[in-house]
Each structure stands twice: as C-alpha cells, then as structure tokens.
Structure 1
Amino acid sequence: MTNSREWLMQWLRDAHAMEEQAETMLKSQYDRLESYPGLRQRIGQHIEETKEQAKRLEQCLDRIGGGTSTMKDAGAKLMATAQGLSGIFAGDEVMKGSLASYTFEHMEIASYTMLIAAAEKCGEPEIQRACEQNLREEQEMASWLEKNLPAVTQQFMARDEKDADTAKR
C-alpha cells in the first residue's frame, strides 16, 4: 500500500468516528428540542443522513481493505455524550447546541473536501463519489442552520422573556 492510500484509509476512519460523534451529539439535542419543532425536524432528518454517511464510509473502508477504528469511534461517542450532558445544565442549551452543530458541520465539510481530493489522488472514484454525497448533505445542513439560526435565536429569546414574565407573577 502506498503512503497516500494509508492516509486515505486513516482519514476515512477519522471521518467515520466523526459521524459516530455527530450521531450521538444530534440525538442528544433532538431529545430536548420539543419547543423548537422546525429545528427538531431538521435535526431528526440529519440524524438519518448521518447514519447513511457512516455506512458509506464503512463501505469505502471495506473497499480498500480497512475497517473502522473501534477506539476512535468509542472516543468520539464519549466526547459527544459528555458534550450533551454538559448542555443540560446550560440555560441556553438550544443556542449552545446550535452553535456546536454549525461549527461541527463545517469541520465535516472540511473533512470531506480533503477526502475527495485524497480519493481522486488515489484513483478511487467510488470513494470520491461517496464522500461527495456526504459533503453535499453536510453543506445542506450547514446552510439550513445558517439560514435558521436567526429565527431560532429570536424564538429562544422570546421564550426566555415569556418565562421571565411568568416568574415575576
């Protein structure tokens, strides 16, 4: 195996762990978004996309004779679980979760951009196509968040003001 192919395999494993982390993080947010139905629906959709992305990455790894990294996957899930638990104690959990999601989407976009170039260099068009599909989905989610964060922010602030008024009575 060439050094380039070893890097491709390593980065595919990293991306798989990243998707495992994303799924855990998104599920944690989803469970607590009943007051934000639009955000909850889009997060639910992206959970399903994320599961498919992880499957595509597993197929890519199988194609080049590698496997996922149990250690990386477990570590990523643990980090996401800790992040989810820390949000429970924040009064602005929905905003912190939205910020984390938007940031995470951009990390995923960068990762898939890199993987597409690596797959092309290694002559792996099937891996390139899988990563292009994942990239499109991540870009769509990032775009949705960018367009909807102002409304979510205003909804949060309105709910907070209403709660403060109710508490004064």
Structure 2
Amino acid sequence: MPTDQDTLRELFVTGLRNAHAVEKQALSIMTPQVARLEHYPEVAERLRLHIDETNGQIERLDELLASFETSGSALKDAALSMSGGMAAITHTFAGDEIVKNSFANFAFEHFEIAAYKSLLTLAEDGGFGQAMTPLRQTLDEEQSMARWIDEALPSVTRRYAELYAAGGSSQAKV
C-alpha cells in the first residue's frame, strides 16, 4: 500500500477527475434515454431523478476538486461524454432497446459503485476526511439506482414482451 502522502493525493485527485468524467458520461447516456421512453413511464421517472442526482454528484466532485486546487479534465469529460452518447445511439437501433438499456445501465451503475468504493479507500488512507461524506452520499445514490434497476428489470422485461406481442419490436422499443 502506498503510504507516501503525495502519491495518495495524486491517485485520489486522478480518481476524482475520472469520476467527474464518468458522471458526465452517465448524463450523456441517460438524457437521450429518458427523452425516448414512451411506454415505460416508471423508468423515465427514475432516470429523471437519477439525472438530478448525477448533476448533484458532479457539483460535489467539482467542490472536492476545487479543495485540491484543481478541476475536472475537459478532455476526459468530453471523451467520455462522446462515448456515452454513442453508446446511447447504438441501442436505438436495437429492437429491444429498453432491455439493452436496462442491462447497460445496470452495468454502468456497478462500475460507478466500484469507482466510489475505491475513492473512499483512497480518501481514508490519504486522510482526506472532507471527501468522505460527499463520496458516501454519491455511493449511496449509485447503489440505490442499481437496486432500482435490479428490481425493475423483471417488470420492464415483461412490459417489453407484452408490447412486442401486441405490435412487434417497433412498438416495444421505448
């Protein structure tokens, strides 16, 4: 385990910058999804809530980065936002878009959970106590969203199957 304070600080700040870019990517994935959800109002409602949470997470990360006299990486933010937007677009061509989006969102939430657990470890080891509360709040929000997706997947899948049976894949998509 690295014990050098400068090393821990560098790793922590890099992790914060990466998390900032990942949250920007999350927005670029969720925003187009919510705009396309016609047949799944409960999913749209929960995505809107998580978009609001994600904006708050970005604000908390901005504050933490500022406390280390730095900011998010414009290059990382732009690159991940673009890749998130491309991922969202590719699912629009799938007949089972809602199901694929659910799978991808579930995986993405778990990626974020792992990232925040890692950041909390670095914060603890580095003595960055000011970061613990905002990072725990974000971790709680990500875990809540992952649980919601997990619990909603059966009903989303059933709704998709019902719509598909009623009118084919174009009716069932979103």
TM-score scaled to structure 2, two decimals? 0.92
Structure 2: unaligned runs, 5 residues or longer? none
Cα deviation 1:56-100 (Å, max 9, x = unaligned): 011111011221100000001000111111111111111111111
Q: 2:99 aligned to 95, 100, 120, which one?
A: 95
Q: Does 1:69 align with 2:70?
A: no
Q: Does 1:12 align with 2:11?
A: no
Structural RMSD (CA): 1.2
Shift of 1:123: 1.1
Aligned residue number for residue 85 of structure 2: 81
Aligned residue number for residue 131 of structure 1: 135
Structure 1 consecutive aligned stretches of length 4 or more whose deviation exceeds 3 Å: none
Q: Which stretch has the larger CA shift, 139-148 or 119-128? A: 119-128
Shift of 1:23: 0.7
Shift of 1:124: 1.3
Structure 1 Cα separation of the partners of residues 148 and 85 of structure 2: 24
Aligned residue number for residue 122 of structure 1: 126
Structure 2 Cα separation of the partners of residues 153 and 84 of structure 1: 19
Give the count of matched residue pairs: 165
Structure 2 Cα separation of the partners of residues 50 and 127 of structure 1: 17
Shift of 1:125: 1.4
TM-score scaled to structure 1, two decimals? 0.95
Structure 2 Cα separation of the partners of residues 45 and 160 of structure 1: 27
Q: Does 1:24 align with 2:24?
A: no
Structure 1: unaligned runs, 5 residues or longer? none
Identity %: 36
Structure 2 Cα separation of the partners of residues 34 and 55 of structure 1: 30
Q: 1:151 aligned to 144, 155, 170, which one?
A: 155
The residue type paired with residue 28 of structure 2 is T
Aligned residue number for residue 107 of structure 1: 111
Report SS of the residue matched to 2:37: coil
The residue type paired with residue 87 of structure 1 is H
Q: Which stretch has the larger CA shift, 58-67 or 101-110? A: 58-67
